[in-house]
Structure 1
Amino acid sequence: MQEIKIVVKNPEGLRVRFAGILMKQIKKYNCTTMIGKNGQNVKATNLYRIIDLDVKCGDTVTVTTDGAQEIVAAEELQAVMEKYL
């Protein structure tokens, strides 16, 4: 299992537009991906659950990947999240 932490710098936080970009990236990998805030984790392929996390600017988001492609998935997701968040 791989874990990355990102501090959200985007003034809008994690909203529908970025959640869609994130989900599209996640579907490329053969692994299970979870995203969480303050100990609440949700499957990162569920748009509504991601939005329910209510991630705002300044929050720390944790992404975990587990499976056959967990390392490459974590590295690429971190790059995408740093670009957009």
Structure 2
Amino acid sequence: MVSKKVTVKNPTGLHLRPAGILCNEAMKYQSQITFVYDGGMANAKSVLSVLGACVKCGNEIELTCEGVDEQEALDHLVAAIDSGLGE
């Protein structure tokens, strides 16, 4: 299991489009991928779970990946979030 804290930089947070991009990226990996946010935990492979987290710009989340490709998944998801998830 690997994890890393990352700050969401999207001006509008994880609304539908960036949440979809995050989920699509997460679905590429076999590992279980979740993130902890202020108030709970979300499944990064579920758009509804990500949207339900109500993550805003500047919020810090802690991504956790567990499985055969965990390090690769974590590295790519952190890079995707750092790049703004398409925004």
The TM-score normalised by the length of structure 1 is 0.91
1:36 touches 1:53 (CA, 8 Å); kept in 2? no
CA RMSD between the two structures: 1.3
2:9 touches 2:81 (CA, 8 Å); kept in 1? no
Percent identity between the aligned chains?
33
2:14 touches 2:55 (CA, 8 Å); kept in 1? yes
Is 1:22 paired with 2:22? yes
Report the CA distance between 1:27 and its aligned residue.
1.1
Q: Which consecutive unaligned segments of at least 5 residues does structure 2 have? A: none
Report the CA distance between 1:6 and its aligned residue.
1.1
The TM-score normalised by the length of structure 2 is 0.89
2:33: which partner in 1? 33
Q: Distance in 2 between matches of 1:29 and 1:10?
A: 23
Report the CA distance between 1:55 and its aligned residue.
0.6
Q: CA offsets, 1:46-82, max 9 Å, x none?
A: 1111111111111101110000000110011111110
Structure 1 runs (4+) deviating above 2 angstroms are none
